[in-house]
A and B are shown apart, each in its own frame.
Chain A
Amino acid sequence: MVIADVPTKIVYKRPSVLDPQVTHYCPGCTHGVAHRLVGEVLEEMNEVENTIGVASVGCSVFAYNYFNIDFVEASHGRAPAMATGIKRVLPDCTVFTYQGDGDLASIGMGEIVGAASRGEKITVIFINNANYGMTGGQMAPTTIPGQVTSSSPTGREVSRQGYPIQTAELLATLGGAVYVVRRSMHNAREIRRAKKAIRTAFEVQKHGLGFSLVELLSTCPTNWGMTPVEAREWIEERMMPVFPLGDYKVSSAVADLKF
C-alpha cells in the first residue's frame, strides 16, 4: 500500500513556549492542561517574550520549569503583591500569577483582595482543586462540605470547619476587578471555554482595563483518591454545584473588547 501521497496536516503540537519537560504533576491532574492553555494564549497574542510569570507555593511552585518565559517565585500567597510590584515598574510587560486555592484563597486572601481592589493590571490564573495538593491533600478554603481530606478525615463539617470560599464571586464585588470568571477543566468543551476566558483575561491586561482572574475547577485524582475519569466526573457532580461556572464580572469595557 502506498501512502506517500496522503496529505498530512498538523492539528496538534506543543506550543514552543512550553519546554519539553517530563511533568512533575500527577497522572490525570489538569495543571498541565492549564499550563498549555496559558502558553497557547501567550503565543497567539505574540506576548511570550514580553511576559513575566509569578509562580506561587503549592503544586505549581515549579511552573517556571515548563514555560520559556521570565519567571519569579513568590512566597506562599504573596504572588499578587509581587506581580503588583513588577507590573508597576514594567507596565508594558504582561504579568500573570498562577496560584492554587490554598495559596490564593487562604494565606493569600489579603494580597489577592488588595490587588483586585486596586485594579492592578495583572492576570491571575487560579486553580481550584478543593484541597492542598502539594502537602498531601489537606482541607482547603475551597474544600466542599462533606469532602474527606487528610485534615478533615470525617468530611468537612461546616459547623466546625466552616464553608468553602467562592473566590470568583467574592472578588467580583471589587471595583478594580473587571473580568472575573469561573471555568472548568473537566471536559473538552469546558477546556475550550477556559482557553477563551484566559485569552480574554490577558487581552484585558494588554488593553490596560484592570484586574482579571480566571478560576479553573481542576482535578486532583491522587489526593481525591480517584481515577482521572472519576475525578473529572467529581468536578461536574460535586464541585460545580458549589462553584457554578459563569462570568461573575465582565465590565462594559471588557464586553466591548475586540480581539
Chain B
Amino acid sequence: MAKEMIKGNIAIAEAAIRAGLQAYFGYPITPQTELLEHLSARMPELGRPFVQAESELGAINMVYGVACTGKRVMTSSSSPGVSLMMEGLSYIAGTEVPAVLVDVVRGGPGLGNIAPAQGDYNQIVHGGGHGDYHMLVLAPASVQEAIDLTVLSFDLAEKYRNIVAVLLDGSIGQMMEPAELPPMQPLKTETPDWAVRGTHGGEKRVLTSINLDPPAQEVMNLRLMKRWQAIEENEVRYKSYYLDDAEFVVVGFGTAGRISLSAVRAARDKGIKVGLLRPITVAPFPKDVLDNLTQNVKAFLVVEMNSGQMLEDVRLVVRGRKPVEFYGRMGGVVPFPDEVLTEIERLVEEPITTEGHPRDRWLSRLAAAIG
C-alpha cells in the first residue's frame, strides 16, 4: 500500500480496524476525538460493534466485557478520561484478559489543557489503577510508528493476556504526515478456551478478579509477576541513533525523543559525539541497553515533556555510575530542538556531577529562564 498523508488519531483507528479490531467503545475527549469519530463511521460500515459510551467508566467496562469473550477490543482516551478508566483497567488486569488502550496524553494535572504532554508516564507505566499489575506500554514517535505499534499491541495483548497501552501525546494524535497503513487482516475466528460464550454442553467458565483467599490471591499475583518477567525478557523494544561512538547519550520517548533526534543531529554537525536512545517500550523499560551504555559513555541527558518521570527509571539503571542531567517542558509546552541542543552543549562544556538530583538542577535553570 502506498504512503498517504494521514492524521495520527485516524491512522491509529484505521490500523486497529485492519489489525482485526472486533469492537470499540469510547468517549469523546480532545485531543483523541478523531479516533472515536473515525471508528464511529468505519466500524458500523464493517458490521462491527461501536458504542459511544455514557462515560469513560462505561467505555472501559464495555471493553472489559468484550475482553472476557476473547475478542479484539480497544478503547481510546486522553489523560482525564484515562484517569476515569483506571478502575476498569485494574479489573481487566486482575481478570487476566487482553485489551488495548490508546492514551493521547494532554497537559495536566486536572483539566489541564489539550496541548501535547507526557505527564501521564507514571500513571500508565507505574500504576494508576489499584493492585499489583503492569501494562505493556508502547510509545510511538511518528504516525507510522503509531500505526505499526497499534497493530502489534493486539498481538501482544493476546499473547500475554495483558493490557497493552499505546502511549502518545497530542502532537502525534493531531499531526498529519505520510504513512503507510497495513493491509486488512481477516477477523479472528477462534475463541480462546478461557473466554465466556455460554457453556454449550461444556464446563462453565467464570471470569472474575475477586479472590477472597489471600494465599490464592497471592498465587494469582505471582502468576502476573511471572508473566511480567517474561514480557521484560522478550518484548523490550527501542530505537538507537548514533550510539556506536557516542560519548553522550540523550534518552527520550515519543515526541520528546523525536525532537531530541533533531538536536542530536545538529550536535553531530558541530562535532559532538552524541547519540539518542528512544525507548519504544517504556514498559518494559530497556534496561539492558541503558546499562551497557553506562559502561561506555560520559553522561546522559533525559528529555521529557513532563517533570522527569522516566528520568527516575533511567536513574535506577544508571545507579549514579555516570552523571544524568534532565531537561523537560511541562503543561503542554513542546520543547524546540534548539533548547535540547543547548542542553547537549551544556553537558559537554560545563562540569557535570553524579551528586544531587538532576531535577533540582533543571528546576533552578528553568526558574532563571522563565521566572
A-side contacts of B91, CB under 8 Å: 74-75
* B198, A61: Cβ atoms closer than 8 Å: no
Decide if A234 is an interface residue (CB 8 Å cutoff).
no
Known: A50-B198, A82-B62. 13 other contacts (CB 8 A): A49-B200, A52-B196, A64-B208, A70-B196, A70-B205, A78-B88, A84-B25, A84-B58, A88-B49, A88-B62, A110-B58, A114-B53, A118-B51
Interface residues of B (CB under 8 A from A): 22-23, 25, 49, 51, 53-55, 57-59, 61-69, 71, 73, 87-88, 91, 95, 196-201, 204-210
* B66, A85: Cβ atoms closer than 8 Å: yes
Interface centre among A61, A90, A110, by most chain B C-beta atoms within 10 angstroms, is A90
B-side contacts of A41, CB under 8 Å: none
* A70, B197: Cβ atoms closer than 8 Å: yes
Binary contact track A54-73/B, C-beta < 8 Å → 1, others 0: 11000001001001111111
Decide if A127 is an interface residue (CB 8 Å cutoff).
no
* B198, A111: Cβ atoms closer than 8 Å: no
* B206, A71: Cβ atoms closer than 8 Å: yes
Interface centre among B58, B64, B73, by most chain A C-beta atoms within 10 angstroms, is B58
Decide if A29 is an interface residue (CB 8 Å cutoff).
no
B-side contacts of A70, CB under 8 Å: 196-199, 204-206
The number of A-B residue pairs with CB atoms under 8 Å apart is: 130
B-side contacts of A110, CB under 8 Å: 54-55, 57-58
Report the separation of the CA atoms of residues A86 and B57 in the bound assembly, to the nearest whole angstrom.
16
* Identity of the chain B residue whose Cβ is nearest the Cβ of A70 in the assembled complex: B196
Q: How far is the CB of A135 from chain B (nearest CB, A)?
A: 15
Asked if A93 meets B198 with Cβ closer than 8 Å, knowing A61-B210, A85-B64, A86-B66, the reply is yes
Decide if A48 is an interface residue (CB 8 Å cutoff).
yes
Decide if A89 is an interface residue (CB 8 Å cutoff).
yes
Decide if A51 is an interface residue (CB 8 Å cutoff).
yes
Which of A67, A78, A85, A114 makes the CB contact (< 8 A) with B73? A85
* A75, B65: Cβ atoms closer than 8 Å: no
* A72, B68: Cβ atoms closer than 8 Å: yes
Q: How far is the CB of B74 from chain A (nearest CB, A)?
A: 12
Decide if A81 is an interface residue (CB 8 Å cutoff).
yes
Report the separation of the CA atoms of residues A85 and B68 in the bound assembly, to the nearest whole angstrom.
9
* Identity of the chain A residue whose Cβ is nearest the Cβ of B90 in the assembled complex: A75
B-side contacts of A49, CB under 8 Å: 198-201
* A81, B57: Cβ atoms closer than 8 Å: yes
Decide if A83 is an interface residue (CB 8 Å cutoff).
yes
* Identity of the chain B residue whose Cβ is nearest the Cβ of A51 in the assembled complex: B198
A-side contacts of B204, CB under 8 Å: 67-71
* A78, B61: Cβ atoms closer than 8 Å: yes
